């Protein structure tokens, strides 16, 4: 089995810019992940790319098998994950092209399984115990720092901190919903940031969210509201520099055994009852 130390869950465009990509299929107790893993090398670091929506972008946010995605990454050796995603800005100053690295999230999803430890026996017969994980600070502080420094190194001053509100989708927000989110002081709104972060924490992985604002959400602008075409246009315009920042962030992450954050010991004192890959 090939190995990778760092995982990137993102758009299909990222792995295609690497030389010598190895594609491997990984099965998990939760079924197949969104796609194959694409293993490559960035500045001497081994990386596994996973297209979150599948390479043909056929999976809507609520149909993504988040558990399989995180389990598959961990099973090939990944211990640190970067999760770029497109979001809407909830404040006029967070316009298209803003890179925001959140330090908090609010879960407004409805249908998603957000734990590996849900009492259902796995196919191998093991039964998970109930696990109540600390999640006050959902993101890895070291990963956030690496991502922010990488952006600054490319002359792209990020918004360092803020709250990502994750909605169920696939529809965009109504104007009233959007104004309500903004009124709470939340920063950006997306559809895939949850449950990625909490599932990563349950597997003792470092997880860092990097959000690219593609539009102002319905409550923050005066026009017709968000369109899918506009999201794609702005994302396409910024995907090149986001890739550069991602690659720099990958090379700035600490070695697995040199991590100083608490992510790798999140299960200490808890007994998950199932064997992590």
DSSP state of 164: E
Q: Give 26 or 203: the residue with its C-beta nearer to Zn ion.
A: 203
Least distance to Zn ion, CB of residue 65, Å: 24
Question: Which run of H or E residues covers position 33?
Answer: none
Q: Rounded to an integer, what distance in angstroms lies between the CA atom of residue 174 and that of residue 16?
A: 36
Pairing of strands 80-89, 188-190: antiparallel
Residue 124 a catalytic site member:
no
| Catalytic site residue from 217, 248, 268, 271 | 217
How far lies 267's CA from each of 122, 124, 147, 158, 214, in Å? 19, 21, 25, 31, 36
DSSP states of 34-68:
SS-EEEEEETTEEEEEEETTTTTT---GGG--HHH
| Catalytic site residue from 215, 248, 268, 271 | 215
With contact defined as beta carbons under 8 Å apart, do 174 and 168 qualify?
Answer: no
Least distance to Zn ion, CB of residue 261, Å: 3
Least distance to Zn ion, CB of residue 13, Å: 26
Residue 215 a catalytic site member:
yes
Q: Which residues bind Zn ion (CB under 5 A)?
A: 140, 206, 261, 263
Question: Which run of H or E residues covers position 143?
Answer: helix 141-153
Q: Give 35 or 204: the residue with its C-beta nearer to Zn ion.
A: 204
Question: Which run of H or E residues covers position 180?
Answer: helix 175-183
Least distance to Zn ion, CB of residue 185, Å: 26
Q: Give 20 or 258: the residue with its C-beta nearer to Zn ion.
A: 258
Q: What's the 3-state SS for 204-249?
A: CCEEEEEEEEEEECHHHCCCCCCCHHHHHHHHHHHHHHHHHHHHHH
Helix (H, G, I), strand (E, B) or coil at 256: helix
How far lies 237's CA from each of 70, 183, 224, 231, in Å? 28, 30, 22, 10
Q: Give 6 or 100: the residue with its C-beta nearer to Zn ion.
A: 6
Q: Give 1 or 134: the residue with its C-beta nearer to Zn ion.
A: 134
Least distance to Zn ion, CB of residue 4, Å: 17
Q: Give 137 or 157: the residue with its C-beta nearer to Zn ion.
A: 137
Among residues 47, 49, 97, the alpha carbon closest in space to that of 69 is found at 49
Least distance to Zn ion, CB of residue 264, Å: 7
Q: Rounded to an integer, what distance in angstroms lies between the CA atom of residue 131 and that of residue 111?
A: 20
- The residues carrying an active-site annotation are 215, 217
């Amino acid at each position: 089995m090939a190995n990778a130390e760092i995982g990137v869950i993102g758009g299909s465009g990222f792995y295609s810019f690497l030389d010598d990509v190895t594609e491997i299929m990984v099965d998990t107790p939760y079924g197949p992940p969104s796609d194959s893993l694409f293993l490559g090398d960035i500045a001497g670091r081994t990386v596994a790319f996973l297209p979150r929506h599948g390479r043909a972008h056929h999976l809507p946010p609520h149909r993504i098998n988040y558990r399989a995605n995180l389990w598959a990454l961990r099973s090939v050796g990944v211990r640190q994950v970067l999760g770029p995603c497109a979001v809407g800005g909830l404040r006029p100053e967070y316009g298209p092209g803003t890179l925001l690295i959140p330090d908090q999230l609010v879960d407004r999803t409805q249908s998603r399984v957000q734990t590996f430890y849900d009492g259902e026996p796995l196919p191998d017969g093991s039964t998970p115990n109930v696990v109540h994980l600390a999640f006050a600070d959902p993101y890895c502080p070291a990963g956030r720092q690496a991502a922010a420094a990488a952006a600054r190194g490319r002359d792209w001053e990020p918004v360092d901190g803020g709250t990502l509100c994750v909605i169920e989708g696939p529809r965009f927000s109504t104007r009233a919903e959007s104004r309500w989110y903004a009124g709470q002081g939340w920063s950006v709104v997306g559809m895939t940031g949850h449950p990625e972060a909490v599932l990563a924490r349950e597997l003792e992985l470092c997880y860092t969210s990097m959000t690219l604002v593609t539009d102002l959400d319905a409550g923050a602008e005066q026009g017709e509201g968000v369109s899918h075409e506009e999201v794609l246009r702005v994302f396409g315009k910024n995907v090149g520099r986001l890739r550069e920042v991602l690659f720099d962030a990958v090379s700035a992450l600490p070695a697995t055994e040199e991590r100083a954050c608490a992510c790798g010991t999140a299960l200490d004192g808890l007994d998950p009852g199932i064997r992590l890959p």
